[in-house]
């Protein structure tokens, strides 16, 4: 594996844990943390900028619930960050889309999990949410903001992959991000109902990889290390296995830092700690970067590329970073 970059490439930032939705898979519904006021968020942004982190992505909670969202984005853009966000789109009016453009958002990701409105609305527990998400995508396009569609793959949609890609393409998205189902927060509570079996994951990824290879007008992105078993990462892949803690870090609403949004282990707080110090010296990050094979991974020929798969899923289900990914379909 190549060396770890000198600081994160992406900071995933939960500005708020509040949300106007209550989705069945959401990792962050059970999370509670006081929210930092505007000035303190800016203070942290300035500290992070010192280490030339190129990307900030606001995740959820719903970023549009922060009334200072565009002020913060304008500030972050001024510091040199490329800012993006993931939103459910419900509050993204024409006017907000114009503000997204003006404040400097490079990309906005809208969550749409099905082409069938009733399925999406039921999954997201909010009537009319599919229609609003589609409208939000159109408003963004009209303003010239680059669009990504995010879909959380699970029981409700794993067989409608081609339709999901078509829908994203028709909306003018540059990319569709197929997020693997995470057993964190509500995702853990509802995993028996919503998660796929390892065999179903394999089938899904085989179709998705085939589709990706032929897609010329839209990027199909799936950031799941478990695919290393069926598809060799490109030679230039910077790191192997999970990218959390190697290319990215997560900041919570109160400034706490975790390796990723789905691993609730706090390694410091950026109001008081230095980003580079945490990046270089955290024991937790060190453990994630130097995983040790365990159980069936010990004899698996894919270990060098897969590194045990998704560390967050392994940790959520067993409490051990080194356990094999529960989505792994490779036999014992």
Partner 1 sequence: MRNIRRNPDIIWREEEEAREEALRAMERGGDASGDGTVLLVVSGMMHQLNLLGGEIWKLLDGIDEERLVDTLAMTFDVDRDTLSRDVRDFLIDLDRRGWLVHE
Residue ranges binding ligand SF4 (CB under 6 A): 19, 21-23, 26, 28-29, 60-62, 88, 124, 229, 296-297, 300, 302-303, 306, 308-309, 324-325, 328, 330
Residue 31 CA to residue 15 CA, distance in Å, equals: 12
Q: In angstroms, what is the minimal distance from the CB of 37 to partner 1? A: 30
CB contact at 8 A, 82 and 38: no
Count residues near partner 1 (CB under 8 A). Answer: 18
Q: Of partner 1, ligand SF4, none, which one sits near residue 238, judging by CB under 5 to 8 A according to partner kind?
A: partner 1
Lookup result for tokens 């509050």? 91
183 binds, among partner 1, ligand SF4, none (CB under 5 to 8 A by kind): none
By beta-carbon proximity to ligand SF4, the closer residue of 275 and 306 is: 306
82 binds, among partner 1, ligand SF4, none (CB under 5 to 8 A by kind): partner 1
Smallest separation (angstroms) from ligand SF4 to the CB of 130: 13
Using DSSP, state whether 238 is helix, strand or coil. Answer: coil
**Closest distance of CB 17 from partner 1, Å:** 27
- Give the residue among 58, 62, 211, 207 at the shortest CA–CA distance from 124: 62
Q: In angstroms, what is the minimal distance from the CB of 33 to partner 1?
A: 29
Tell me whether strands 268-269 and 256-258 are parallel, antiparallel or unpaired.
antiparallel
* Residue 3 near which of partner 1, ligand SF4, none (CB within 5-8 Å, type-dependent): partner 1
Q: Shortest distance, CB of residue 296 to ligand SF4, whole angstroms?
A: 4
Question: Minimum Å distance from CB 123 to ligand SF4?
Answer: 9
Contact 79, 46 (CB under 8 A): yes
Mapping DSSP onto H, E and C, the string for 276-302 reads HHHHHHCHHHHHHHCCCCCHHHHHCCC
**Residues 37 and 6 sit within 8 Å (Cβ to Cβ):** no
User: Cα separation of 198 and 66, whole Å?
Assistant: 38
Which one among 175, 207, 269, 318 touches partner 1, defined by CB under 8 A? 175
Residue corresponding to tokens 């060190």: 286
The rounded Cα 57 to chain-centroid distance in angstroms is 9
Binding mask 76-115 for partner 1 (x = CB under 8 A): ------x---------------------------------
What six digits make up the tokens of 295?
């159980």
Q: Which residue among 67, 214, 216, 236 contacts partner 1 (CB under 8 A)?
A: 236
Burial call 280-316: b when 16+ CB within 10 Å, e when fewer: eebebbebbbebebeeebeebebbebbbbbbbbbbbb
Which of 247, 269, 274, 287 lies at the binding interface for partner 1 (CB under 8 A)? 247
Please pick, from the candidates 21, 55, 188, 329, the single residue that binds partner 1 as defined by CB under 8 A.
Answer: 55
Residues near partner 1 (CB under 8 A): 2-3, 5-6, 9, 52, 54-55, 82, 174-175, 219, 221, 234, 236-238, 247
């Amino acid at each position: 594996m190549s060396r770890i970059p000198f600081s994160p490439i992406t900071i995933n930032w939960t500005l708020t844990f509040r949300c106007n939705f209550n989705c069945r898979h959401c990792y962050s519904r059970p999370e509670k943390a006081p929210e930092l006021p505007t000035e303190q968020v800016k203070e942290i942004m300035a500290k992070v900028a010192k280490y030339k982190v190129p990307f900030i992505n606001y995740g959820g909670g719903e970023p549009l619930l922060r009334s200072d969202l565009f002020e913060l984005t304008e500030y972050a853009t001024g510091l040199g960050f490329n800012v993006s966000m993931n939103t459910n789109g419900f509050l993204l009016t024409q006017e907000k889309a114009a503000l997204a453009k003006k404040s400097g958002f490079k990309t906005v990701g809208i969550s749409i999990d099905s082409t069938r409105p009733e399925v999406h609305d039921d999954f997201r527990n909010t009537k009319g949410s599919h229609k609003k998400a589609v409208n939000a995508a159109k408003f963004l396009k009209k303003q010239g903001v680059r669009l990504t569609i995010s879909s959380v793959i699970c029981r409700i949609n794993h067989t409608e992959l081609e339709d999901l890609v078509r829908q994203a393409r028709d909306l003018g998205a540059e990319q569709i991000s197929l997020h693997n189902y995470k057993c964190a927060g509500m995702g853990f509570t509802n995993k028996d109902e919503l998660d796929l079996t390892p065999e179903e994951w394999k089938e899904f990824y085989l179709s998705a990889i085939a589709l990706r290879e032929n897609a010329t007008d839209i990027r199909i992105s799936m950031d799941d290390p478990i695919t290393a078993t069926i598809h060799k990462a490109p030679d230039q892949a910077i790191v192997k296995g999970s990218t959390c803690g190697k290319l990215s870090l997560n900041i919570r609403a109160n400034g706490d830092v975790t390796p990723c949004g789905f691993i609730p282990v706090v390694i410091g707080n950026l109001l008081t700690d230095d980003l580079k110090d945490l990046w270089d010296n955290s024991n937790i990050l060190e453990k994630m970067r130097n995983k040790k094979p365990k159980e069936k991974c010990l004899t698996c020929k894919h270990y060098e590329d897969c590194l045990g798969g998704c560390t967050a899923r392994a940790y959520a289900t067993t409490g051990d970073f080194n356990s094999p990914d529960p989505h792994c379909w490779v036999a014992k």
